[in-house]
Amino acid sequence: MTVFAPKSDFLRVLTERGYIHQCSDFAGVDELARTGSLVAYIGFDCTAASLHVGSLIQIMLLRWLQKTGAGKPVPLMGGGTTRVGDPSGKDESRKILSIADIEANKQSIKGVFSNFLSFGEGKSEAVMPDNAEWLTALNYIDFLRDVGRHFSVNRMLSMDSVKMRLERDQELSFIEFNYMCLQAYDFVELNKRYGCVLQMGGSDQWGNIVTGIDLGRRMGTGQLYALTSPLLTTASGAKMGKTAAGAVWLNADMLSAWDYWQYWRNTEDADVGRFLKLFTELPLDEIRRLEALQGAEINDAKKILANEATAMAHGRAAADQAMETARKTFEEGGVSTDLPTIEIPRAEFNAGVGVLTAFVRAGLVASTGEARRQVKSGGLRVNDASVSDERATLGERDLRDGAAKLSLGKKRHVLVRPV
């Protein structure tokens, strides 16, 4: 990357913290950011009911834009484009979601942003449009005449997202092939509506974004800009945001603050510094101190990472509570009443609930068969005592403060409480 000394706080922060993969024109973006007149958007798919950690870096871009006073963040809901499906970076066609599902997903996703951005009509306050607002109103013939004529199929065929599919003989439907045209058109439309001149996104979006810049020039928007963030993987090569239990969702109703905190707490040593820079707002000199910690001491840095990241997504109170629960559970080996809890009717409990069944009910294992296998390898514990008899039952003697602690492995704990 070329050496560029940004004058704006926005680009300086992004550069220092490692958010930038490519930018079409550093100086141009820098100047707009410096004068506080940078309107920038990032599109978000509505393919699931929540965004996950993989989108967090994008959300942070918008947050820094607002926080540094560089301009107006525009998180764009892809209510329209999600009906089409983006082929970028995907091997296979995406299944097409129903319009009702997309709408429900959109509503659910909207909530996340209020934790990260402040919305309003002010110059640096965020707005959240949905591209369904203009895309669904398009008339096919008009669109072809006004917009379609600016696209070269020759060039579209040479784009990585398309080329990859063609080379591997993988189906690329016409509807997906059109995705980039719609995304490009979004950029132009947002320019008209909000004076938006910068589109940001993951590095896999570079082609789509540049296509939008190009369309803008042909349709008279004036100069537009692109800025992409690196595609994040963990130090050992795994994609960000996926765990055994599934994606690391940002919505509290899909992943509890406790589990979210644990996700960050379990960061690999080699990632701590990088993640502190990207996913917290701690000052850089503080981060340098934390990432320099050696051996077991780096656990302190991970706790701070978990705390800061959780506070941003779920609030400071939820983060503090997760930390306290973790302290009691892991450092004192005790029972925190704030652990995830399931309830079992008193009568059923008194009649005797099999341990295997209890672990299934707690959601720690998928079936009694799996529970049985875990018993064999010593993975199940009740109140920290290893389960050796698969026919044992839970009873009054297992209750501590009215609940029994079931554990799978060393990290996953659930309380069972008779009511």
Name the minimum Å distance from CB 164 to RNA: 15
242-243 vs 246-247, strand pairing mode: antiparallel
Give whichever of 39 and 304 is closer to RNA, judged by the CB atom.
Answer: 304
Q: Are 200 and 61 in contact (CB under 8 A)?
A: yes
To the nearest 10 degrees (0 to 180), the angle between helices 99-116 and 298-314 is: 120
What does each C-alpha distance from 138 to 18, 103, 211, 244, 391 come to in angstroms? 39, 19, 19, 42, 64
Q: What is the DSSP string of 263-307?
A: HHHT--GGGHHHHHHHH----HHHHHHHHT--GGGHHHHHHHHHH
Name the minimum Å distance from CB 278 to RNA: 17
Give whichever of 222 and 295 is closer to RNA, judged by the CB atom.
Answer: 295
Q: Which residues bind RNA (CB under 7 A)?
A: 169, 171, 235-236, 238, 243-244, 262, 265-269, 295-296, 298-299, 302, 326-327, 329-331, 357, 360, 366-370, 372-374, 376-379, 408-412
Q: Phi/psi of residue 331, each to 5°?
A: -90, -30
Give whichever of 144 and 366 is closer to RNA, judged by the CB atom.
Answer: 366
Give whichever of 7 and 376 is closer to RNA, judged by the CB atom.
Answer: 376
Name the minimum Å distance from CB 71 to RNA: 38
Name the minimum Å distance from CB 312 to RNA: 19
What is the Cα–Cα distance from 373 to 178, expressed in whole angstroms?
A: 49
Name the minimum Å distance from CB 93 to RNA: 10
Q: How many CB atoms lie within 10 A of CB 299?
A: 14
Q: For CA atoms 12, 14, 20, 23, give the dihedral sign.
A: negative
Q: How many CB atoms lie within 10 A of CB 147?
A: 19
What does each C-alpha distance from 396 to 76, 124, 188, 349, 412 come to in angstroms? 54, 59, 67, 8, 23
Give whichever of 90 and 372 is closer to RNA, judged by the CB atom.
Answer: 372
Name the minimum Å distance from CB 377 to RNA: 4
Name the minimum Å distance from CB 92 to RNA: 9
Give whichever of 200 and 326 is closer to RNA, judged by the CB atom.
Answer: 326
Give whichever of 213 and 415 is closer to RNA, judged by the CB atom.
Answer: 415
